[in-house]
Structure formats: structure tokens, C-alpha cells
Amino acid sequence: MPLGKVDERTRMSSPPVVILGAGLTGMSAGYHLQHGYEIHERLPYPGGLAVTIEEKGYRFDRTGHLLHLNDPSIRRWIESMLGDELIKAERRSRVFSHGVYTRYPYQANTFGLPPEVAYECLVGFIKTRESGASTERPNDFEQYCLKYFGAGFSSHFMIPYNRKLWGVHPREITAEWCERFVPRPELEDVIAGAVGLKRAELGYNAEFLYPARGIGMLASALKERLRVPIRFRSAPKAVDWRRRKLIFEDREQSYEVLISTVPLNTLIAILEHPPDPVRRAGLLLRCNPLYYLDVALDVSCGVDSHWVYVPEERYPFYRVGCYTNFSDKMAPPGKSSLYIELASREPVSESRLMPGIAEGLMEMKIIKRPDDIAFARTRRINHAYVLFDHNCYKALEQLRPFLEDNRIISSGRYGGWNYSSMEDALIAGRNAAGKAMELQR
């Protein structure tokens, strides 16, 4: 049948809701719709970034994927799917700087740091309290850090760590994203942390659940509970938003409502002839890729932390996590699997990088010698961190109403263009399903 001509049988067979992407948001949307939908996934497997790779008996997720669950219904849902395979853990995260480990978050735990560093952090924090909090909103994340944490905490951790994490200086990004994810301690917390008095863990991720054989177990469980099979290796090359049709290489497909979980900038790029303001807004959206390493150790991990933040610029990585500290089933007995997130946004050479990586891991006492590394694999995530720069929200104000007016629900971490957790992804899918059903009434 020639492209552009769809007979009545094809039209009648098209489901009213089409979902692009079989990550957690897309599968959650399908689960909550139950029927009358179709899911297209460009990859040959479900889960998006929530997958687990196995090699030589070692298991690796696509860096740390932990379940921080606050919604009771989402928690019950996940527990019903994974049952005894779920491990419940209290967070053991640390910061490695100045050659020592301190508890996370850095801004409430200076005990153990060199005295001059701890002093600078405490004095800076107290000065911000004495000066009185201005009601003026910070213009950027650097100002946010200086306003709420002071010069010491900002210079020793907040600014260098976030520069490595985001790939740009914190003054290039706004502070709107961070209220939930960056703990702001009280003076009592800072004082207690300075003298080594252990208090309740701060932050949204103080405890978590983790599937015993990797986060891919969650994606597999979701797939098994869908009533409609996923169409793998299937992605439209264009979206005709006026006629509500998806354009594939060999056919067209109609929809009444489109739920898109693909990155928002990618979606805008495949819209057929969008209005100029929409096209321009799509070009303003920025995100950073992430290069990271899957690292297999021939030995047990030398520290018991789940993950470690590394703010100092002399290290080529900003975070190291140990999967086998999440679950001992993530590697053969007596061995370990790690993820190492790299600060560079440029392609990396393993042969040049690994000596520095091994040296850093030895300084951190994760390994004793370079030969403890059995193998390492370089990985890339194309869309890792949405950049909340000074154009981001202006662009979203242009894009969201346009998509909604045209019955396109762009949802999930990258479809919604936000910084969020896996629980948020599942809730976003549930909400997208509810909205899709409303639009069909």
C-alpha cells in the first residue's frame, strides 16, 4: 500500500492510544490503560535505562537505579510484582574528599575532614544564617548554594561536584530542580555532623528497595503484566500532529491520543512542520550525555558504601557505586561489580583512562592493586541529565500547551524533561494513562 494512503481496515485496527517507548513510564501507562493501546519501542528489549546487563557472571545496571518509594500504591504494586526478590536497605553513601570518607550529605557531616576545611564550612554556613535569608530567589544554582550552604560547603563540595555531575558550571543552571534532591540541613544538623554525632539520615533517598538480580527485574515484571505485547524495534520517523498519524518507514498509523516517553527534544524534532515558535523552543532544550564504566572486580569491594560521591576535580569520575553492596547476587561469590560515572562528556579511551581509574580506586581503598580489576566496559547514555539552564522553562512554557492542545502527552523523565526518580516515572505513566482516558471521553 503506498505511503500516505491508509485503508479503512488499517484505520479501524489502530488502537486509540499509542505509546512511544517501553521504559518504566510507557509500560506503567500501558498497565494502567489495560486495553485500547499499543506500545512501540525502538530497542529490542523493555525497560529503557532500567535494564541489567550480565557478562561473565557479573551484573550491571545502567548505573545506579534504586527504588525510593513514598507512594503507598506504587510500593504495593512493586512488592506484588517482585515479592521476596526485593531487598530493603538503609542508605550507606559517603563522600570521598581530602583523602577521607565522610557521611552524606556533605553539608551536614564535616566530622573527619581536615580541621581547616571543616572550620571553613561551618563558619560559612553560620554566616549565611547570621546575615538573614534574603527573600530574593537565587538566579542560578551557584547562588543557591552560596545562599543556603555558605562559601565553605559550596567551594569544597556543592560547586565542584555539581560541575562534574551536570557537565557545566552551576551558574549555567537554575535552582528550580533541586529543592527535593539537595538536602538543606538545619544548624543543629550541621553542628551535630561536625562533632560526629549521628542523627537521622537526611534526604529523599535515606532508604531504598532493590531487586536482588538487578533493576532489570522490574522492567521484566512490568512487561509480563501488560495485556498487549510490545512492538520492539519499532519507532516512527515522523509524527503528523495535524492528522494524528505516526509515519513509519513502510506505513502510517492513526491515533486518538499519543503518549510519548521519548526525550522531548527528540519528539519535537520528528514533528512534521511544527509552528516556528515550537520548533525554536525545541532547539533550546539541552541535555548532557553520560559516559560511565561497568567495572568487574576479582575481589570483594573494599568499602561497604552503596555509592560514593567524589567532588575533587583531580579524579576523572564523580561517583562510584558498588552493585554487590546492593545485592550479593550481582557478581560471582567473592567478587564485585561497580559503576563509575565519568566527569568527561567527551568519548573516552579505556587504555588511557584505566590507570587513573585504578589509582583513584586504590586511594579510595575500593581495590588494593590494579590487577583486582577483572575487566571494564565503557558505556554511554545519550540523554542522562536534562540541563535546567536559563532557557529551559521558557521553552517548556511554549511546548507543553502546544502538545496538550494536539492530544500529545509527553511524559516521564525525558518526555517530561525533568529530574526525577523511578517512582516518579511510574507515577507519570499512571497519570498519562488517566489523562489519555479523559481525552477519549
Q: Which CATH superfamily is domain 8-46+230-286+388-440 in?
A: FAD/NAD(P)-binding domain (3.50.50.60)
Q: Other CB atoms closer than 10 Å to residue 106's CB: what's the count?
A: 23
Pairing state of beta strands 17-20 and 257-260? parallel
Angstrom distances, CA of residue 72 to CA of 66, 76, 77, 427: 17, 6, 9, 11
Supply 8's cell numbers: 479503512
How many angstroms separate the CA atoms of 422 and 412, rounded?
Answer: 9
Closest to 308 measured CA to CA, from 103, 151, 80, 77: 103
pLDDT tens by residue, the chain, 441 residues: 233 334 434 444 679 999 999 999 999 999 999 999 999 999 999 999 999 999 999 999 999 999 999 999 999 999 999 999 999 999 999 999 999 999 999 999 999 999 999 999 999 999 998 876 566 788 899 999 999 999 999 999 999 999 999 999 999 999 877 767 787 888 988 998 888 887 666 656 678 999 999 999 999 999 999 999 999 999 999 999 999 999 999 999 999 999 999 999 999 999 999 999 999 999 999 999 999 999 999 999 999 999 999 999 999 999 999 999 999 999 999 999 999 999 999 888 888 999 999 999 999 999 999 999 999 999 999 999 999 999 999 999 999 999 999 999 999 999 999 999 999 999 999 999 999 999 998
Distance in angstroms (rounded) separating the CA atoms of residues 221 and 70: 20
pLDDT of residue 13: 66
Q: Is residue 312 within 8 Å of 97, Cβ to Cβ?
A: yes
Contact, 231 vs 223, CB < 8 A? Answer: no
What are the distances in angstroms from CA 54 to CA 58, 60, 216, 335, 377? 6, 6, 10, 14, 12
Please state which CATH number belongs to domain 51-91+205-216+287-386: 3.90.660.20
Using alpha carbons, select from 388, 383, 429 the residue that is nearest to residue 264.
Answer: 383
Give the pLDDT score at 197.
Answer: 83
- Smallest CA-to-CA distance from 65 within 310, 299, 413 is with 413
Which residue ranges make up each domain of the chain? 8-46+230-286+388-440, 51-91+205-216+287-386, 108-196
DSSP states of 112-168: TS-HHHHHHHHHHHHHHHHH---SSPPSSHHHHHHHHHHHHHIIIIIHHHHHHHHSS
Backbone angles phi, psi at 160, to 5 degrees: -65, -40
CA–CA separation, 396 and 374 (whole Å):
45
